[in-house]
Amino acid sequence: MLGSLFGRKEEHAGANNNAASRTQVLDHVSRSLSRQRPQSRNSGLLGWLASTQSQILARRVGRGGDATETHQREVLISLAFSVAPSNMMCFILNSLIVTVMLQSQPRTSSNWSAESPPTSPALRPISPQNFYDSPIRLAPATPHMLGARADENKYRMRLLTDRMFSPRDKHHIPLVSLGPSVFSDSSKSAEKVIQLLRCDVLKNGKIVRDETLWIQGNKIVDGATLFFAGVKPDQVIDLGGATAGQRRPLVVPGFIDVQINGYFGYDFAEQSKLEEGLDVVAKGLLKYGVTSFLPTVVSSLPQTYQEVLPIIDAKRGRRSGHAEIIGAHLEGPFIAPCKKGAHNIDYFRSAPNGFADLIECYGKYLDPSSSVQKDDNVVKIITVAPELEGMLGAIEGIKKEWGDKIAVSLGHTECNYEQAEKSVESGVTMITHLFNAMHPFYHREPGPMGVIGFSSLPRNTKKPFFGVIADGVHTSPSSIRVAYNAYPEGAMLVTDAMAGAGLDGDEFMLGSMHVERKGPMEVVIAGTNTLAGSVATMPFCIANLVKFAGCSLAEAVNAATITPAKSLGIYGKKGSLMPGADADFVILDQLSDVDESAFRVARVFFAGEEVFTVA
Amino acid sequence: MRLIIKDNYDDVCRYTSEYILNRINEFNPSPERPFVIGLPTGSSPLGVYKKLVHFHREGMLSFKNVITFNMDEYVHLPRDHPESYHSFMWENLFKHVDIPPQNVNILDGNAKDLERECTEYEAKIAAVGGIELFLGGIGPDGHIAFNEPGSSLSSRTRIKTLAYETIIANSRFFGGDVNKVPKLSLTVGVGTVMDAREVVILISGAGKALALAKCIEEGVNHMWTVSAIQLHPRGMIVCDDDATLELHVKTVKYFKSIEKVHRLLTTEESKVGMDGKVRYSATSK
C-alpha cells in the first residue's frame, strides 16, 4: 500500500517538473511518515525514502534553484522528526550527502566576489589590526569605475566602518569609542601621509585657491580618495591664512633646470672632482627650489665623455636630501666654431659620417647596439648645430634609434631660418639658450628665432621648446618679452650656471678657461667681453621673467616646471602637483599683491620630506 | 516650530552657522558622546559651510568628535565625479576641517546591494545614538533631501527616483544637459529626518517662497514633504525675506515679533541654553 502510494507520487514528480508539485510530494512524504506507527517502519523503507528524497533534491539543486534552501531544511527537519532513533544513522548520512550537494551550488555574484583584494605589502602593517581584515572585498571594481576606485581599493582594508558593517564580520565593535589610536598604526607602514592645509596650489599651471595637498610616501595623492577610504594624515602642515597685505603661500612643483654646467666651484666637465661636485651641487641646489636638474657637459674630447658619463649615470635617481639628477645634457662638440661662446674650439667637430661620428664621440651612450637600455639612457639632451656637414642625417639617426628618449637641441649655431626649420622637421625639439650663440634675429632672416614665431610649422611639425637665460645679462629684457609672448607654452627657464654660481669670488676656472666677474651677475672670459655662462639662480630667473615678459608669477613658474618637464617627456611625474606626481614641491611665501615678481623660497620638499626651510 | 526671518542669504548663513557653532560647543562633544549632525548638499548650505570652516580656522570649532551623516547621494555616479555628493562635501567642508574620516558617513551610490546600503545606513545612525541636529534645505517643490512629492512621511532611507523638476534643477551642475543627471538616488527618508532631535531647514530665495508657504501655513501633506516639520518637537526654519513672499503678512509679522526672544537664545549672556535649560550664570551648563 505504501509502495503504491509512493509510486504514484514518484510518477507525478517525474512527469511534472514543477517545483510546486515536488514540494507537494515532499510534504506528502513527510506527513505520511509522521502518520506511520513505529513498528511498520523498517530500514529498507527508510533507505528507499532517503534515496528518493535525495534524488528530488539533487534534481532541484542541479537546476540551480537557490530559493529553496529554507524549504529543504524544513523538509529535512520534518523527516528527522518522523524517524525512529534506530534509523538515525541512515538519516544522518543522507542529510550529510544532501548538505554536501547543497554546498556545491555555484555562488551567485550577488553574494560575494571571488577575487582577493590587491594589497601591497607596504600598506598592510603586521599588527593585530589585521585580525579584522576581511579577506573578501565588498564591492569589486566594475569597468567604468576602475579608474576611480583602483587606488581606493588599496585603502579599503583600513576602512573601519566597512569592516564593522560587513556581513562577514562577526565581531561587534562599538562604533563610538574608537579614537585616533586605532589608526596610529598607519605610521608603522613606510608610507607617511602628510596633508598641507590652507594653501594656494599651482595645479595644471593655474592657481587653485584654498586647497589641500596630500602626500603619501614620496608621491602626491588624491586627498578625497584617501579620506573616503578612512586614512588620516600622519602630519598636518597648516600654511596659515593670508596676512594683511600678503597673499597666501603658494605651493608649486619643484623647479627643473635643464642646463647647469657647474655650481659652487665645481665644473661638470672636470672628471677629477665630478663625484664630489655632483653631490655638493645636488645638495646646494635645493635651497633655490631646484629639485631636478641636468648636469651639462661642455664640448670635450671623446675620452672625457667616457669618463664623465658613467659617473653622472651612477648619481642618477632619487636620493634623500639631494636634488634629483635626471640625466646629462651634452652641449657640443658638434657645434659651430664661429659661435663657440665659452667652449674650447679645439674640441669642435662636424659629422661627415653622420650618426656614426656621434657614436664615435659619445661612445656606448649613443650606440644603439650597446648595453645601454633604451629608456634608461643617462644622455637626455644633445645640443648640436644642424648646419654642420652631415648633422641632419645624424639628427635623424638619433631620432630613429632613440626616439623620444634623447632630445636634440639646437644651439651654438649659425644656421639660418630654413636650416633651422629643416632641423626641426628632422627631429630637433629644443633650442638651447635662445638668442645666445646663434644667428641673430633679422627681419628678413629671422634665424632660429623664426621657428618660434611661426604659428605652426609646415608638415605638422611641433614648435620646439626654447630655453632662455633670464638673468638680464645674456638677453635683453625686451627680447625675452618678444620671444615669450610669441610662444609662451614653449618658454623654458634655464640658468646655464657655471662653476662660479653660488660663490662670492671674482675669478674661476670653466673647463680650461679663466673667467672673471665683471658685474654682480655677469662673468666673462678673462680679458674679453664674451659671456662665460651665468651665475644666475632659478628664483632670480623666475622673478626676472615676470618683470621682463609681463607674465604672472604662475606662468613664470610654469616656465621653470611644466615646460622643462614636457621637453624631457617627464611631465606628470615631475613638474606637476596632480595625483601621481613625485612629491617634490616648493612653498613660496612673501608674495605681494603689489609686486607680482616678489616671492621667497620658504620651504622645499623632496620626496615628501622637508629638505630646506628658510631661516 | 521656529521661523527665523533674516534679510538676505548671507544673514541666513551667518545665523545658521552661529547656531550650529553654539549648539556643538554647548553640547561639548567627546569621543564617548559625539555630536551627530546631518548635513545637506546644494547651493543653500554653501555659505553655512564656508562660515563653519572659518570658525574652525579661528579655533572656535573643532570637528574631532562630530559625526556627520549626509542626506543623499546619486546612484551610479563615480565617487570622484566632480558632481557627486562625496566630492561636494570634500571640497566644501571635509577638506578644510579636522574631522576624522571614520566619522564621516555618506551613502554609497555604487554599492553592490543598494537596499542593504540603505538599511545599514539606518543602523549606523541608530548605533551612534541618533542624530542630534539635522540640517537641511528645501526644493522648489517642497521636498527635503530627495523625498519628492508623494513620498511617505514615515519613510526611511531608501532608493528613490528623482522627480523631473529636480532633474531640471540639478542639470545646471551637469552642464545644462538633462540627460547627464542621474535619475536614481539614495536618500534618507522623511521619517529619518524627523527622528532627529532637532531639525533646521534653510530656505532662501524667491523660488522657494511657495514651498515655504505650503509647508508652514497649510497642513501636513505628502505633496510638500517638509511640512512634516510641523509635527517635529524641535523644528526650525531659517529663511530670508525673499522666501516669505508667499506667506501671509500676519505670519511674517508674528514670527518677526518673537525673533527678539530667539536672538537672546544664541548669545552668551543668554539665561536659557540651547537645550532649553535655564542657566543661573552665563558659563554654567
Contact B95 A180 (CB under 8 A): no
Average of pLDDT values for B221-240?
A: 95
8 Å CB contact of A144 and B94:
no
Report the percent of chain A where pLDDT is more than 70: 68
Longest dimension (CA), chain A: 129
Q: Is a pLDDT exceeding 50 seen at residue A111?
A: no
- Distance (Å) from the alpha carbon of B91 to chain A's nearest alpha carbon: 9
pLDDT digits (tens, 9 = 90+) for B254-268: 999 888 776 666 666
What pLDDT is attached to residue A162? 45
From chain A, which residues contact B within 8 Å (Cβ)? Answer: 110, 138-140, 144-145, 148-149, 152, 160-161, 165, 175-180, 182-183, 197-198, 210-212, 222-225, 227-232, 236, 241
What Cα–Cα distance (Å) separates residue A541 from each residue in A214, A446, A503, B44?
29, 25, 17, 46
Q: How many CB atoms lie within 10 A of CB A129?
A: 18
Q: Is it the case that residue A308 has pLDDT exceeding 60?
A: yes
Q: Share the mean pLDDT of chain B.
A: 90
Whether A496 is catalytic? yes
Give me the mean pLDDT over the A171-176 stretch. Answer: 37
Give the nearest partner residue to A224 out of B57, B86, B102, using CB atoms.
B86
Return the CATH number of B2-247, one of 3.40.50.10260, 3.40.50.1360, 3.40.50.720, 3.40.630.10.
3.40.50.1360
CA distance A302 to A358: 10
Res A239 pLDDT > 50: yes
B240 catalytically annotated: no
The pLDDT of B272-285, averaged and rounded, is 62
With H, G, I as helix, E, B as strand and everything else as coil, classify residue A220.
strand
Write out pLDDT tens, residues A495-538. 999 888 888 777 877 667 788 888 778 888 888 888 777 889 99
Closest in A140, A175, A210 to B128, CB measured: A175
Q: CA B279 to CA B285: how far, in whole Å? A: 7
Average pLDDT of chain A is 76
Instruction: Kindly write down the DSSP assignment for every residue of B149-185, as one continuous string.
Output: TT--TT--SEEEEPPHHHHHHHGGGGTT-GGGS-SEE
**What confidence tier does A328 reach under pLDDT thresholds 50, 70, 90?**
very high
Are A165 and B120 an interchain contact pair (Cβ–Cβ within 8 Å)? yes
Q: According to the model, what pLDDT value does residue B261 have?
A: 72
Q: Are A270 and A511 in contact (CB under 8 A)?
A: yes
**Highest mean pLDDT pick, A101-105, A436-440, A452-456:** A436-440
Domains defined for chain A, CATH in brackets: 2-183 (no CATH), 254-577 (3.20.20.140)
Burial code (b: 16+ CB inside 10 Å, e: under 16) for B16-48 equals bbbbbbbbbeebebeeeebbbbbbbbbebbebb
Q: Is A110 in contact with B31 (Cβ distance < 8 A)?
A: no
Q: Which residue in chain B is spatially nearest to A223 when comparing CA positions?
A: B95
Interface size between A and B, measured as CB pairs under 8 A: 81
Smallest Cβ distance to A138: which of B31, B32, B112?
B112
Report which secondary-structure segment, H or E, holds A384.
Answer: strand A379-384
3-class state of residue A380 by DSSP: strand
| pLDDT at A423 > cutoff 50 | yes
Contact A177 B31 (CB under 8 A): yes
Give per-residue pLDDT as tens, B50-81: 999 999 999 999 999 999 999 999 999 999 89
Look at residue A147 and give its three-state secondary structure.
Answer: helix
Which residues fall within 8 angstroms of residue A286, CB to CB, at 6 or more apart? A321, A322, A323, A604, A606, A611, A612
Q: Which of B77, B112, B124, B125 to mutate to test the interface with A (most CBs of A within 10 A)?
A: B112
What is the reported pLDDT for A181?
32
Dump pLDDT digits (tens) for A554-569.
Answer: 999 999 999 999 999 9
- Are A227 and B32 within 8 A, CB to CB? no
Nearest CA in chain A to B82: A224
Which region, left, alpha or beta, applies to residue A351 given φ > 0 means left and ψ of -120 to 50 means alpha? beta
Q: Among B73, B117, B141, B240, which one carries the catalytic annotation?
A: B141
- Among B138, B194, B202, smallest CA distance to B166 is for B138
Q: In A116-266, where does DSSP find H-type helix?
A: 146-155, 160-164, 223-228
Burial-class residue A90 by CB neighbours within 10 Å (0-12, 13-18, 19+).
middle
Cα of A195 to nearest chain B Cα, Å: 10
pLDDT surpassing 90 at residue B124: yes
Which phi-psi region, left, alpha or beta, contains residue A461 (left: φ > 0; alpha: ψ -120 to 50)?
A: beta
B104 vs A contacts (CB less than 8 Å) = 227-228
pLDDT at B214: 95
> Cα separations (Å) of A47 from A92, A276, A554, A603?
11, 90, 87, 84
Give catalytic status of residue B241 as yes or no: no
The grid cell for A510 is 670653466
Residue of B nearest to A195 (CA): B95
Higher pLDDT, A132 or B110: B110
Mean pLDDT to the nearest integer, A578-589 = 92
Q: Can you give the pTM of this predicted structure?
A: 0.72
> Cα(A552)–Cα(A562) distance, rounded to whole angstroms?
15
Distance CA(B275)–CA(B18), nearest Å, equals 15
Section B154-173 average pLDDT: 88
DSSP track, A482-521: HHHHH-GGGEEE---B-TTTT---SEEEETTEEEEEEETT
What is the spatial distance between Cα A142 and Cα A140, in angstroms, rounded to a whole number?
A: 6
A395 touches A419 (CB < 8 A): no
Taking the C-alpha atoms of residue A90 and residue A96, their distance in angstroms, rounded to an integer, is 10
The residue ranges of every structural domain in chain B are 2-247
What is the ipTM for the molecules in this complex?
0.87
- Which pLDDT value is given to residue A523? 82
Tell me what pLDDT residue A110 has.
Answer: 40
Is pLDDT of A189 > 60? no
Per annotation, catalytic residue among A200, A257, A267, A496: A496
What's the pLDDT score for residue A158?
Answer: 43
Residue A10 pLDDT: 45
